[in-house]
Chains A and B, each alone.
Chain A
Amino acid sequence: MVDVTPADGVPPAEVAEMELYHPHSWWTKYVFSQDAKVIAIQYSATATAIGMVALVLSWMMRLQLGFPGTFDFITPEAYYQFITMHGMIMVIYLLTALFLGGFGNYLIPLMVGARDMVFPYVNMLSYWIYLLAVLVLVSSFFAPGGPTGAGWTLYPPQAIMTGTPGGQDWGIILMLVSLILFIIGFTMGGLNYVVTVLQARTRGMTLMRLPLTVWGIFTATVMALLAFPALFVACVMMLFDRALGTSFFMPAIVEMGEQLQHGGGSPILFQHLFWFFGHPEVYIVALPAFGIVSDLISTHARKNIFGYRMMVWAIVGIGALSFVVWAHHMYVSGMHPYFGFFFATTTLIIAVPTAIKVYNWVLTLWRGDIHLTVPMLFALAFIVTFVNGGLTGLFLGNVVVDVPLSDTMFVVAHFHMVMGVAPILVILGAIYHWYPKVTGRMLNEAMGQFHFWVTFLGAYLIFFPMHYIGLMGVPRRYNELTATTVMTESAHDLNAFISIMAFLVGFAQIVFLFNLIWSIRHGREAGGNPWRATTLEWQTSETPPAHGNFGKELPIVYRWAYDYSVPGAKEDFIPQNMPGSFGSSREPA
């Protein structure tokens, strides 16, 4: 690679100035906007709104599990519809959309020093198609028969049969159509994120100077572009099976005593397609969180991230490995048992780069100058929950240990801890961190502290004990546990406790939403760089940054993103666009 980083000189101009679309009206400025920052806020607001629906659905489930038989309106059909919609919304329409469409859109152009995404018009379309996907999803609540109750994994044959809510009604069709739309919309955005990172970085911003946030979102987007097509074809094939009577996934079947007109299809083929998408999806959610939390820890501990290059390679390595582990979701699916040897080995190998990331986070704290701000608290809580959830992954990934635990509440507890609670704690910390850049004001600290403590401790108290209910052998996806003999009286009490915690944690999120709105007007003025951070988004001439991000001239990058507490420097941070050499900066290269 050409060395573009002389310490004092200005690197050669590599990035041509971009022609921006200039909005002519209120509509093109705030609604049909091509500014990535507006699109980011649109994505985030939509994802949060649909996420609140998922939150209420989880309350309904917990009412049923904690207090069985008390609430007549939660019929078995309704329960299965609630869990299905909760799972799908959280994984796809909230987490994926918020990390990539929300944080990706806002942060990528700012952090790499670009004026905007490289294809702003396609970027705008991406959001509107996402919104359409969400609306189609929501419409299934009002369709005849209601939404699908097939579980978020949508396994055929049951997903398209009468014994499942929405199977022979509109529910499953609307779900599949919505997913297809989502993937189309995401692809438009995803191509933007990838090309922007590769082609629109400002002068001096080498790949190995990118903040880890960008590395995380970038790698996750590449993975999503490779993984979502598997889900796309699976959805199309199932739609054909349901609507046109094909038999991609449908073998000969007797339903309620009657032979169906299907034959020769393979239900397990769907599972392979689904998990070929579904496992990378876990990391599509996790890698942006890894990247963001690295930057939160580094900034608020006033210390460079430890082992930057190892962190980058760990992100890339985890991304690549995650494409060869998918069948660890299928150890008891009836696939050939010898696959178990291969997939258990690959799965446990992934633990190594993942552990390296954890070590490097905690080693960043070591000999730091730790400011216990709200974003830092969330970052610490992330490490606790991620380590906890990651370690229980070593149970489920180790094929024979998975046999008794698979399809029990242990699995539910594991994946909520590792890809629910942990990434959401990062999202929350990240919102406290970047809200001042987006609005110019700080979020209220007292509400933030309340929100943090209830969310962290409440979520831990929900999901840590839940593992033990699974260890007892209690299966997941049971709306009714009174007929299950392994479920003891005391375990029912524990379920009631978990439900109460779930309501508390949900309530804290409402306080957070109130804080988001209240602080727009009443928050303390933040200034341009309240956390005294090094990365480019904090060096904009205006806060919030205007369309085009960086005034007249694009910034020039002279150093990596982690020059905190450089010995001999006057301040404890040196922005990436600060020319000259200060103290004894030792940038890894």
Chain B
Amino acid sequence: MAIALVLVLVVVGSVLFHFLSPWWWTPIASNWDYIDNTIIITFWITGVVFAAVVLFMAYCVFRFRHREGNQAAYEPENKRLEWWLTIVTAIGVTAMLVPGLFVWNQFVSVPSDATEVEVVGQQWQWSFRLPGKDGKLGTSDTRNVSPENPLGVDPSDANGQDDVVVEAADLHLPVGKPVKMLLRSIDVLHDFYVPEFRAKMDMIPGSVTYFWFTPTKTGTFQVLCAELCGQGHPLMNGVVMVDTPEDYLAWLGEQQTFAQLSAPQQVGSAE
């Protein structure tokens, strides 16, 4: 008997917790409110199913608990009921899957006007590279990595000479402009994750992965690593600052290019 009451309390408590507790997602700062909406749809459908199943159980336990002289019904199968439940379930699942795939299609279709920004992860810091005036990133390879060339930019690639290199410092992005994050790692797996942007993707040494988003709010956001990368994993934090276009250009003007950073070393090696 206690169990019937507790089952009801589990449902009521879970629903109250969902609506009243202070623990909820951070305010969104990107275009991916579609993802938030899909989560809300999923919460409603799954919440209703959870409540219905558990409350039905509670009712059964209360109504059909053993008392002297009771006998259970004998009903091995009920084809109609079984098919009916299967179809309703399939409809509910489709109602979650279709919007999900629709938004996923947007997530993987990068707009043509997105600017590219490269993120390079290493144990345990973040570096960034932005294309220079030519709008193109030079090629790169882990084999080129050295103390003078921390991101492994190919020194013989002309496209790379004017690339802006931001080593182990904050990344700035202009608000309202779609950006394609190209993700690289030079050692282990990492994952570039800003909770307010909702998007994340692993970084794999030897590959370039990506995702895109449009920052919609100016401000300072913490970058977290979301793929276990060794014992420094929780401390691998970074900062993304989303600026107004003017502030962004001012910041960009202060940054150094690959050619500027490698120039003194080239002189040094010639001696």
Contact with B along A349-360 (1 / 0, CB 8 A): 101100110111
A306 touches B188 (CB 8 A): no
Shortest Cβ distance from residue A311 to the other chain B in the assembled complex, whole angstroms: 10
Residue of A365, A377, A400, A464 touching B107 (CB-CB under 8 A) = A400
Question: What residues of chain A lie closer than 8 Å to B60, measured between beta carbons?
Answer: 362, 365-366, 368, 370
Measured in the bound complex, the distance between the Cα atoms of B226 and A366 in whole Å is 45
Supposing A400-B104, A468-B23 touch, asked if A368 and B72 sit within 8 A by C-beta, the answer is yes
Measured in the bound complex, the distance between the Cα atoms of B70 and A370 in whole Å is 9
Measured in the bound complex, the distance between the Cα atoms of B72 and A303 in whole Å is 6
Least CB separation from A164: chain B residue: B230
Question: What residues of chain B lie closer than 8 Å to A380, measured between beta carbons?
Answer: 3, 7, 57, 61
B77 touches A334 (CB 8 A): no
Question: What residues of chain B lie closer than 8 Å to A471, measured between beta carbons?
Answer: 23-25
Measured in the bound complex, the distance between the Cα atoms of B82 and A472 in whole Å is 38
Supposing A344-B104, A362-B60, A477-B233 touch, asked if A372 and B76 sit within 8 A by C-beta, the answer is no
B77 touches A465 (CB 8 A): no
Measured in the bound complex, the distance between the Cα atoms of B233 and A77 in whole Å is 11
B195 touches A473 (CB 8 A): yes
Question: What residues of chain A lie closer than 8 Å to B45, measured between beta carbons?
Answer: 394
Interface residue stretch chosen among B111-119, B127-135, B197-205:
B197-205
Shortest Cβ distance from residue A553 to the other chain B in the assembled complex, whole angstroms: 29
Give the residue among B186, B187, B222 with the most A Cβ atoms within 10 A: B187
Measured in the bound complex, the distance between the Cα atoms of B53 and A158 in whole Å is 43
A491 lies within 8 A of chain B by Cβ: yes
Supposing A309-B77, A480-B234 touch, asked if A388 and B199 sit within 8 A by C-beta, the answer is no
Measured in the bound complex, the distance between the Cα atoms of B227 and A303 in whole Å is 48
Contact with A along B195-239 (1 / 0, CB 8 A): 110111111111101000000000000101111111111110100
A431 lies within 8 A of chain B by Cβ: no
A572 touches B72 (CB 8 A): yes
Question: What residues of chain B lie closer than 8 Å to A584, measured between beta carbons?
Answer: 74
B161 lies within 8 A of chain A by Cβ: no
Shortest Cβ distance from residue A367 to the other chain B in the assembled complex, whole angstroms: 4
Shortest Cβ distance from residue B221 to the other chain A in the assembled complex, whole angstroms: 9
Least CB separation from B57: chain A residue: A362
A236 lies within 8 A of chain B by Cβ: no
B77 touches A395 (CB 8 A): no
Least CB separation from B7: chain A residue: A384
Besides A253-B142, A337-B107, 14 new A-B residue pairs in contact (Cβ under 8 A), listed by A number: A334-B202, A341-B104, A344-B97, A356-B85, A362-B60, A380-B57, A400-B34, A400-B100, A401-B35, A407-B200, A464-B14, A473-B25, A566-B74, A586-B74
Give 19 A-B contacts (CB < 8 Å), ordered by A residue.
A158-B230, A164-B231, A251-B204, A254-B186, A266-B206, A337-B108, A352-B89, A355-B85, A366-B73, A367-B64, A369-B66, A372-B61, A384-B54, A394-B42, A407-B191, A460-B10, A464-B17, A472-B25, A484-B224
**In the A-B complex, the 7 residue pairs with the closest CB atoms:** A473-B195, A251-B206, A163-B230, A334-B209, A478-B234, A158-B188, A367-B73
Q: Which residues of B contact A (CB under 8 A)?
A: 1, 3, 6-7, 10, 14, 17, 21-26, 32, 34-35, 38-39, 42, 45-46, 49-50, 53-54, 56-57, 60-61, 64-66, 70-78, 81-82, 85-86, 89-90, 93, 96-97, 100-101, 103-105, 107-108, 122-123, 141-143, 145, 147, 152, 183, 186-189, 191, 193, 195-196, 198-207, 209, 222, 224-235, 237
Q: Which residues of A contact B (CB under 8 A)?
A: 76-77, 80, 149-151, 155, 157-158, 161, 163-165, 167, 251-257, 259, 263-268, 301-304, 306-310, 332-334, 337-338, 340-341, 344-345, 348-349, 351-352, 355-356, 358-360, 362-363, 365-372, 377, 380, 383-384, 387-388, 391-392, 394-395, 398-401, 403-404, 406-408, 457, 460, 464-465, 468-469, 471-473, 475, 477-481, 483-486, 488, 490-491, 494, 562, 564-567, 572, 584, 586-588
